[in-house]
Structure 1
């Protein structure tokens, strides 16, 4: 199709794409053109539609539809942001979800092609018949984790190292764990942690967890632990809740409880609290000291203490407020996409098991290089170098 060919786009489609797209990126001239096209006084060329598709961040094919469609995936019905349903997800979130579903679909088919059996732990527990402590124990067993896995050889892991370790155990169990702070490599499209912190896509052959890297590292590891619980419950969701919320839906209460127990075991937490008190510490001092032991934020420690009636609501509220303010300050001064080696950053975002299976499939001639580039966001030059980084 020639880029100068003209295409008639219905007014209803123009209203729709400008409503769902990133209209803030349109220039005054773009708006004038759209007004003329909507009124029928002019007709856009293919080239103009390509440019608008990029600016609006909507699929080019949308301009060729006869009428608007509902392009919001069913998973958004399970989004948990202060218990409110999402009205309209951003294009950044939709495009990230779409790319993760493509990876999951590929991994599912690869598993089936190789005769793999469904993973029995996916959806093996039920919300109304589940105790948080029992579910956490089952997760630890499946992931080959001890109760104090975050403390190997008598030293405590930092949150980032604990995240890497927990992610590694998930990968070895067959759970795909992906993370990014932008849409692909596009630094002009950052993911907003206020919109979502993580999401889980359920599949008995290829369960997938995506973590928003724009979140704090403490937020990332709690989100990972939370989404692990969703895998066992077989319930998809887009997550942007906080452990501090007291009025969550039953499934979020359960998943938060599992995440807390996985990262801050109640028995070990109580022991650490008593030890700190024996040394004369109290309140904020105890919280600060224990936060150095477990790979979580001060808020999670404070919530544990509040639930155990070790601190007052006022103390907890102060910790939560200070933690939120500190996180916002840090978030504005840092970016996932800044600095660092491109290939190291790239490989850290991708699940290593996925990359290894994809590379093997390409070598066997089962998957084309074109599909491999699409799934990994690479090209003919960068794909081989990515594989070298993953294998190193």
Structure 2
């Protein structure tokens, strides 16, 4: 009998955890049924079946043989900004994405060390600063943007690209995706997270969930930029108008993001002019979203912070916006494959990787693994990048 037909003994508690992970990751019904049969003892797993399910569930082969579920430790998950509801443990899709980003960050750090880069002095430089205006001023100065930078941008998509390029200029990696790697069958959950940041003195990395609206992505990017200056990892899940945080750092990052996105003086001047022209507050909220490239919730929150609308009005607006936010799908999905791939990858990372491959320090297989590409797609991506 071949070894792939050997009957295996797997621990029931581990099987239960694997089944729950597979269900959360929306695995095929046949996979769930087989795991359920193993858990109940009505069928016995074979080696070939475990190998197949390991591949289909994206759960490491060795995990199937543990006596209890693994204790995966990603420090960023300890900094989750969650609301008061219980969300359970992080999904396998999120953990796999964090793992991929940690690999990219480590590669980029080693590359920069090899190239003789110095530490990025601004990383963690504001860890003891609590004043919103002071932090906002430092962030603007480092990113080389003025207070009214948003006026240079024609829309939220342009504004996001503008800030992303500013991050690239100062050494912050910005990655973005709506699925795990290149697997379109493993979507990332917007309800679970909007962005996360992995702070490092050589290669700070921000990951944006592309399933958010472009306005939401912009706010998340600004929020996580502040975390780089404060020096703390973070997984951001709150609405961009939410201030109900248990940690003062989160409140600070949200307020600074709002101030950089919607400066107080500019916002109040806009709001008061708009209200003189329109009785309907909703018109001004929508116009604020357009002018400042922010979500309706963020605009309403800013109006509430400056006592332009009441708490009751704000709560009503948030309630009306919340369902649309939860059900939101990323804008501009689909389209040109290579454009989508380029939007996922930080340009400075892709350039560095291409240079390293050309110099013979990084193999092509390693480059393909880091970028979820193959020879054809990687070559095309690099060629497109060089053509810009």
| CA 1:142–1:84: 2 relative to 1, 3 Å | farther
For residues 186 and 296 of structure 1, the distance between their equivalents in structure 2, rounded to whole angstroms, comes to: 30
Partner of 1:25: 27
What count of residue pairs does the alignment treat as equivalent? Answer: 383
| CA 1:131–1:30: 2 relative to 1, 3 Å | closer
Alignment check: 8 A CA contact 1:202 1:234 kept: yes
Alignment check: 8 A CA contact 1:76 1:86 kept: no
Partner of 1:112: 113
Alignment check: 8 A CA contact 1:176 1:354 kept: yes
Name which of 310, 316, 319 aligns with 1:318. Answer: 316
For residues 288 and 335 of structure 1, the distance between their equivalents in structure 2, rounded to whole angstroms, comes to: 18
Name which of 366, 369, 374 aligns with 2:369. Answer: 374
Partner of 1:228: 225
SS in structure 1 opposite 2:81? coil
| CA 1:15–1:29: 2 relative to 1, 3 Å | closer
| CA 1:301–1:26: 2 relative to 1, 3 Å | closer
For residues 270 and 178 of structure 2, the distance between their equivalents in structure 1, rounded to whole angstroms, comes to: 34
Deviation, 1:72, is: 4.1
For residues 353 and 233 of structure 1, the distance between their equivalents in structure 2, rounded to whole angstroms, comes to: 23
Structure 1 gap segments, 5+ residues each: none
| CA 1:79–1:221: 2 relative to 1, 3 Å | same
Name which of 165, 168, 176 aligns with 1:179. Answer: 176
Partner of 1:347: 342
Partner of 1:90: 91
Query: Can you list the C-alpha shifts for 1:55-90, whole angstroms capped at 9, x where unaligned?
Result: 322122323556542014232111011156753111
For residues 315 and 15 of structure 1, the distance between their equivalents in structure 2, rounded to whole angstroms, comes to: 46
Confirm whether residue 270 of structure 1 aligns to residue 268 of structure 2: yes
Structure 2 gap segments, 5+ residues each: none
Confirm whether residue 293 of structure 1 aligns to residue 291 of structure 2: yes
For residues 32 and 149 of structure 1, the distance between their equivalents in structure 2, rounded to whole angstroms, comes to: 56
Alignment check: 8 A CA contact 1:22 1:55 kept: no
The 10-residue stretch of structure 1 (310-319 or 57-66) with the greater mean CA deviation from structure 2: 57-66
Question: How does 1:163-174 map onto structure 2 within 5 Å?
Answer: 163-174=160-171
Partner of 1:139: 139
| CA 1:319–1:36: 2 relative to 1, 3 Å | closer
SS in structure 2 opposite 1:275? helix
For residues 14 and 70 of structure 1, the distance between their equivalents in structure 2, rounded to whole angstroms, comes to: 15
| CA 1:367–1:269: 2 relative to 1, 3 Å | same
For residues 74 and 30 of structure 1, the distance between their equivalents in structure 2, rounded to whole angstroms, comes to: 30
Confirm whether residue 206 of structure 1 aligns to residue 207 of structure 2: no
Query: Can you list the C-alpha shifts for 1:77-109, whole angstroms capped at 9, x where unaligned?
Result: 110111567531111111111111110010111
For residues 205 and 274 of structure 2, the distance between their equivalents in structure 1, rounded to whole angstroms, comes to: 39
Alignment check: 8 A CA contact 1:176 1:209 kept: yes
Alignment check: 8 A CA contact 1:111 1:205 kept: yes
SS in structure 1 opposite 2:251? helix
For residues 135 and 264 of structure 2, the distance between their equivalents in structure 1, rounded to whole angstroms, comes to: 14
Alignment check: 8 A CA contact 1:22 1:91 kept: no
SS in structure 1 opposite 2:185? strand
Alignment check: 8 A CA contact 1:140 1:147 kept: yes
| CA 1:281–1:27: 2 relative to 1, 3 Å | closer
For residues 331 and 50 of structure 2, the distance between their equivalents in structure 1, rounded to whole angstroms, comes to: 31
| CA 1:261–1:3: 2 relative to 1, 3 Å | farther
How does the TM-score come out when normalised to structure 2? 0.91
Deviation, 1:218, is: 1.0
Partner of 1:78: 79
Alignment check: 8 A CA contact 2:175 2:346 kept: yes
The 10-residue stretch of structure 1 (89-98 or 8-17) with the greater mean CA deviation from structure 2: 8-17
Deviation, 1:9, is: 4.5
Give the RMSD, CA atoms, in angstroms. 2.5
Alignment check: 8 A CA contact 2:19 2:35 kept: no
Deviation, 1:287, is: 2.2
Name which of 325, 328, 352 aligns with 1:327. Answer: 325
The 10-residue stretch of structure 1 (271-280 or 297-306) with the greater mean CA deviation from structure 2: 271-280
SS in structure 2 opposite 1:252? helix
Deviation, 1:140, is: 0.7
